[in-house]
Amino acid sequence: MHRVRPSLKMSTVMPSSHPKSGTPMLRAEDLRWLACPICHSSLALESTAVRCTGCTRSYPVEDGIPVLLASRAILDPHMHF
């Protein structure tokens, strides 16, 4: 007897796109699944970067994707949470 697997429906809702480039824009709610690769704290969205709420390092966002590499982190000594 042949069994039929139920198909998985994928969501067709896409994040809003950047008006000029058309690339998906990162939303603050997207960060709930991500953490700082150095101290593992949560991240906050800024205009062109994401900032760690623990160690205050910031990571660039390129084409709507946060680059969470320790080598790309920028530590702002004046930033305190």
Domain boundaries, the chain: 28-75
Per-10-residue mean pLDDT for the chain, 81 residues long?
51 48 74 95 93 95 93 82 50
Looking at the domain 28-75, which fold is it?
A: N-terminal domain of TfIIb (2.20.25)
Q: What percentage of residues in the chain have a pLDDT greater than 70?
A: 67
Full-prediction pTM beyond 0.85? no
Distance (Å, rounded) from C-alpha 73 to C-alpha 63?
A: 17
What residues pair up with 45 in beta bridges, in sequence order?
A: 50
Q: What is the pLDDT of residues 56-79, one digit of tens each?
A: 999 999 988 999 999 999 987 776
Instruction: Output the pLDDT for position 79.
Output: 64
The Cβ of residue 45 has, within 10 Å, a number of other Cβ atoms equal to 17
